[in-house]
Chain A
Amino acid sequence: MRALKVTALMLLAVACAKENASNSNTASSTATTSGSVDLTGAGATFPYPIYSKWFSDYAAQKGVKINYQSIGSGGGIRQLSEETVDFGASDSPMSDDEMSKAKGGPVLHIPTVLGADVVTYNVPGVTAPLKLTPEVIAGIFSGNIKKWNDTRIASLNSGVTLPSSDILVVHRSDGSGTTYIFTDYLSTAVPSWKASIGKGKEVKWPVGIGAKGNEGVAGQVKQTPGAIGYVELAYAKQNNLPIAAVRNQAGQFVVASVAGVTAAAAGVAKSLPENTDYRLSIVNAPGADSYPISSFTWLLVYKQQKDAAKGQKLVDFLNWALTEGEQSASSLDYAPLPTDMAAKVKARVATVSLSGAK
C-alpha cells in the first residue's frame, strides 16, 4: 500500500518533470526560430515606421533579418546597457551617466533621420496658419497667456479674428521623445522656460491636460474648441491637422516641412567640430529656411562589437541605412540627414571595432 503511494507520487513527479521539459522544449524551439533573426534591436517608437520599412527592405535586398521592438527610448537604452540587444534606438541622446553604465563599453550615437514637433490647434474661424514666436508658445504652455485674443498672439496675426475664449493646453501624459524635443526647444529659445520648467521626456506642466500618445493629443485638440497641443510632424501631416508657423532664429515664420527640418540639420552641421559624438540638439537652428522644433533620432551601437560576424552585419546595415535608407525617409514624412552629414556619420560608423578587443 505504502509502496503504491510512493510509486504514485513518483509518477506524478515524473509527469510534472515531463511537463516542464516539454515547456522548455517549446521555449528553446522558439528561441531557435528567432535564432534565424540576425540582429535584434529595441527602442524608440517615434522612428518605428521608417525603421520597419528599412528592415523589411534590407531583408528583401540582402537577406539579413533584423528584429526591432519599439518599446520606447528608455527601454532601448536599458536593453542596450544590459547587452540584451545588438543595438538600441533613442529619440534623446544618452546622458554621460547612462553612457558610463553601459556594460559593453563606449556607445556610439548614429543619427539616422530627423523628426519635428508641430504646434496644432483648434481655434474656430481661423483657417490660415497661426503665426507664433517661441516666447508666445512658452507663454501659452506655461499658462501666462490664457485667452486666444491676447495681444501677444493678436499682434503676430494681424487680419485674423481670434475668439476671446480660454486656451486649453494639451500635452503628452506619457514620457516621450516628442515632449523632449518640444521642451528642449523652449528651454533653448526662451530663458524663462529653462528656469521654470526645463526639458525632459516628461516635465511638470503648469497648466492643461495630459493625453496619451500623439493620437491622444491630436484627438483632444480636434474635439475641444480653444485647444492647443504639440504632435510629431509625420503624425500631423498624415492626419491633416492645422499647423502653426513658428518663427525661427533668423526671424522667418516657417511651417514645418521635411525640407525645413533637413535645413535645420544642415544649419547646425556647418558649425560642427570634427570629433563630434553627434549627441547634438538642433532645436532653434540657424538658417532662414530652418524649422526650429526638430531633432535627430539615433541608433545606439557599441564601439567594440564582441561578435565579429554580428558586428559586420550591423555596420553593413548602418552604411546601407545612411545611403539607400535615407532616400526613402521623406516618403514617410521623416527628414533625411543632409548628404554631407550622412557621409561624415558613415566615417564614424567605420570606427566600430569588430575585433572585440578593448
Chain B
Amino acid sequence: MTTIDPETRIPDPIELDEAEEARLRAAAGLGPIPREGGEYAGFESVGIPDRPPQTDRERDVYTLNEGEMLINLGPQHPSTHGVMRLVVKVRGEVIVDIDPVLGYLHRGIEKLCENATYTTVLTYVDPMDYLSSMHNEHAPAIAFEKLYGIKAPPRAEYIRALVVELNRVFSHGLMMGFLALDMGGLTPILYSFINRDEVVDMLSAISGQRMLFNFFRLGGVNWDTNDEFLSRLGTWRSHVLDNVLMNERMITENEIFTTRTKGMGVLTGDEAISLGVTGPNLRASGVPFDIRKAHPYSIYNELEFDIITQESGDSYARYLQRIAEIKQSIHLIDQIIDKMPHGPVQAQVPGIIRPKPGRAYGAVESPRGLYSVYAISDGGPNPYRFRMRDPSFISLQALPKIMPGRLLADTMAVMASFDPVMGGVDK
C-alpha cells in the first residue's frame, strides 16, 4: 500500500517555471521581470463577484495573480450537503483561497420564532439541522424550561436522551455514507440509508414523523414509548453493531479512502478552538471538549461514558471519531434502556406558556458540535429573541484555513468530513 507523506508539498508548475526563469535570467545577468500587482477580477472579466469588493478580505480573495483562476462550486453541485456556494481561487489544481457564500437556504427561522408561541417554536427549529432534529428541539426545550422554571419528569429526560442518542447514531452513520459518496463510493451511502430508515421508522413510531419529529415539549416529550417503538428498538439494537461494522469494514481499510483522507485537512486543537469548531471535529483534533461532560444537561450525569479523542486532526481522524461515537452512543442507549424509570412524560404546563422576563442559555451536544439557544423572554407568549448557534455554520470557517495548498478535488472530501448541514448553516 502506498503511503503519502502528509508533509509532501505538491510541486506547483507555475512556481517551477518562475524558478527556472529566474535562474536563467540570473545566469544571463538580467534582473527579474517586473510584475505588476494582481488584477482585480471584476464582473467584466469573470463574473465573480458581480459588484466591486466591499471588504479587505473580499479584495484579497477576488484579486487574481499570475496563473490564478476563480472556480464557482455553485449552489447546485453533486455533493450532498445542500446548497452552498464555494468560490475557489485555484492556481492550476492547487487551491489558493476559498470564499464560502452562504444564505441560499436562509429561511428566517429566528424571525418566525419571534412571532410564534413557545410550543410552536419547538416545531420551527426542526428543519434547521434536519439530520439531528431531536437535538434542535432539545436545546430550546432546555432554555425554555430554564426560563419557565420547570423541570421535566425523569422518565421524560430519559426518553429525551434515548431519542437524542438514536438521532446521533443515524446522523453519524449518514456522515460515513456521505463522506464515501463525495469521494465517489456509491455503496456505503446505501448501507447508511438502510440503517437510517430503520431508526427513523422507529422514531416515527414514537413521534409520528419520519424526519422533522415534533417530539419535544416544554416540560417533557409528547408521547410515551409504545409497543411498536420498543419492538423496533430491540430488533434494531440486535443487529446495529454488525451493520456499522460492515459499513466500517468497507470503508476504513480501503486504500483509496485512506489515501484521500489521511493527512488531509489537518486542524490542530488550538486552531480548532480559535475557529469555534466543536463536537466530533474538535475531539478529533485532540481537545476533550464534550458538552455532555462539561456542562451536563438532562441525565448525562448518571450515564457512564468517556470522552473519546483522536490525535491527528485530519479527515481520517474525524471519520474514526464518528465511528467511535456511534459505538459510544449505542453504549449510552443500552444504559438508558436499563435505567429508565416509570412515570409521566410531560409536566403539567398551561396551553399558552408565559415565562417571567429573563434570559436563558441552553446548550446541547449535537452530532456536529455545540448547538445552543439563547432565549430572551419578555413575559409574553412569544419569545422576545430566539437565537440559535449552529455548529456547522461556525465549522465552515475552518475550510479557508486548511484547504490552501491542497488540490481542488480534496475540497469536497474535507468538507464532508466536517459534516455540515446547510439547513443549520443558513438557518
Instruction: Answer yes or no: do A and B interact.
Output: no
